[in-house]
């Protein structure tokens, strides 16, 4: 687990200036050798810290760290917030609490600077380097069972899309079921996990990961086209401001979903569908289906029109992935 002293060292180094091991040690009340050990483990979680004899340690480029006070100051909703410097996974943490004592309040939100076991959909890893992206998980309860959960994840896509569009001058789009794309490249992903009965109270964890400023060292480990907020905006995005707006959008969308499910939201979803009326390939564990993507219906199912029979089939969520069909000439 991340020790408090490591977080303090990151805070000292976040200005991007040189700081000697001796002075850092004095500030924290620990030895130079202990500082050096902490620096080694910070480098292991992706922080680009280098040292020069006689000058000390420097964090290349500095870092703007998450700050709950700043987030609350910029935000009109008042979710309970928790911030971890490093955690295996914010989703995993909330799922653990749900399964143990569960004293969680609806809307409780967990943020982290870094995840060591960030989870993506379909068993993938979500690259979660320190201090550069947004990793957020929010707890919600619903009393209509697990079926409510899959529609909710589509609604959350709209909340994330609206937030990205507030900052970006390029239009963000949705890829069914849960991806957000800009210029056809992935900028954010959503992983909703649920615990509960099919028709009773259901506990949900809404996990959102947004690329803000992708470090080069991590980029090479990502096996699909990606982009980040700093690439698509004119100025650098302040993560604290972004999270404040994201929390507002998440609250609005959640309230709308609770009242009306996808009955209004599905039109907005379709308007921003990256693949609307395009020929797509849908891959599940058992088969590959090709068809024209007609968008979603009010239940959240994807409507796929068969190219020859023109019959429309409904695809429900699950371990599926969608992509534009390559045209072979
Ligand atoms: C995807 O595969 O597109 C979904 C990615 C979801 C990543 C987020 S980051 C915060 C939360 N914690 C996790 O471990 N995963 C989600």
133 lines ligand 1 (CB under 6 A): no
- The CA 61 to ligand 1 mean position distance, Å, reads 26
The full set of domain ranges for the chain reads 4-59, 68-271, 279-324
323 annotated active-site: yes
- The CA 255 to ligand 1 mean position distance, Å, reads 22
Q: Is 49 helix (H, G, I), strand (E, B) or coil?
A: strand
Q: Is the pLDDT of residue 170 over 90?
A: yes
pLDDT band at 7 (very low <50, low <70, confident <90, very high): confident
pLDDT band at 145 (very low <50, low <70, confident <90, very high): confident
pLDDT at 183: 96
Arithmetic mean of pLDDT, 286-291: 89
The ligand 1 atom at the shortest distance from the C-alpha of residue 134 is 9
Query: For the chain, how many residues are written?
Result: 329
Q: For residue 299, count CB atoms less than 10 angstroms from its CB and return exposed for 0-12, middle for 13-18, buried for 19 or more.
A: middle
Of 62 and 265, the one with more pLDDT:
265
pLDDT at 328: 60
135 lines ligand 1 (CB under 6 A): yes
Catalytic residue selected from 6, 186, 239, 292: 186
pLDDT band at 242 (very low <50, low <70, confident <90, very high): very high
Q: Is the pLDDT of residue 2 over 70?
A: no
Which residue has the least CA distance to atom 15 on ligand 1? 119
Compute the distance between CA of residue 199 and CA of residue 9 in angstroms, rounded to an integer.
Answer: 48
pLDDT at 143: 84
Give the largest CA-CA distance in the chain: 75
Q: 4-59, which class in CATH?
A: mainly alpha
121 annotated active-site: yes
Q: Which of 253, 320, 329 is nearest to 293 (CA)?
A: 320
- The CA 118 to ligand 1 mean position distance, Å, reads 6
- The CA 116 to ligand 1 mean position distance, Å, reads 12
Domain 68-271 grouped into CATH 3.40.640.10: no
91 lines ligand 1 (CB under 6 A): yes
For ligand 1, pick from 94, 95, 120 the residue to mutate: most ligand atoms within 8 Å of CB. Answer: 120
For ligand 1, pick from 135, 180, 318 the residue to mutate: most ligand atoms within 8 Å of CB. Answer: 135
- The CA 110 to ligand 1 mean position distance, Å, reads 12
CA 100 to chain centroid: 24
For ligand 1, pick from 88, 91, 186 the residue to mutate: most ligand atoms within 8 Å of CB. Answer: 91
Q: Which CATH architecture has domain 279-324?
A: Roll (2.30)
Ordered DSSP codes for 238-305? PHHHHHHHHHHHHHHHHHHHHHHTTTTHHHHHHHTBTTTTSEEEEE-SS-EEEEEEEEE-TT-PEEEE
85-95 confidence digits (pLDDT tens): 999 999 999 99
């Amino acid at each position: 687990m991340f020790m408090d002293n490591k977080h303090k060292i990151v805070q000292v180094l976040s200005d991007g200036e040189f700081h000697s091991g001796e002075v850092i040690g004095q500030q924290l009340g620990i030895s130079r050798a202990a500082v050096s050990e902490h620096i080694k483990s910070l480098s292991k979680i992706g922080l680009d810290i280098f040292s020069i004899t006689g000058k000390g340690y420097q964090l290349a480029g500095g870092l703007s760290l998450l700050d709950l006070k700043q987030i609350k100051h910029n935000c009109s909703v008042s979710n309970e917030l928790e911030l971890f410097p490093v955690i295996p996974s914010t989703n995993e943490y909330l799922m653990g609490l749900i399964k143990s004592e569960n004293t969680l309040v609806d809307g409780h939100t967990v943020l982290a600077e870094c995840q060591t076991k960030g989870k993506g959909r379909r068993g993938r890893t979500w690259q979660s380097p320190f201090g550069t992206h947004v990793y957020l998980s929010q707890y919600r309860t619903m009393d209509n069972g697990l079926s409510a959960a899959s529609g909710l994840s589509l609604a959350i896509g709209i909340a994330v899309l609206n937030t990205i569009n507030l900052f970006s001058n390029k239009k963000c789009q949705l890829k069914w079921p849960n991806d957000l794309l800009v210029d056809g490249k992935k900028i954010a992903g959503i992983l909703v996990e649920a615990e509960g009965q099919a028709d009773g109270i259901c506990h949900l964890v809404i996990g959102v990961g947004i690329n803000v400023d992708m470090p080069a060292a991590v980029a090479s480990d990502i096996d699909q086209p990606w982009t980040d907020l700093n690439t698509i905006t004119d100025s650098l995005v302040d993560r604290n401001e972004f999270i404040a707006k994201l929390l507002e959008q998440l609250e609005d969308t959640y309230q709308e979903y609770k009242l009306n499910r996808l009955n209004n939201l599905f039109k907005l979803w379709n308007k921003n569908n990256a693949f609307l009326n395009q020929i797509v390939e849908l891959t599940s564990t058992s088969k590959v289906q090709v068809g024209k993507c007609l968008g979603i219906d009010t239940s959240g199912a994807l409507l796929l029109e068969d190219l020859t029979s023109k019959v429309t089939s409904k695809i429900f969520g699950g371990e599926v992935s969608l992509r534009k069909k390559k045209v072979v000439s």
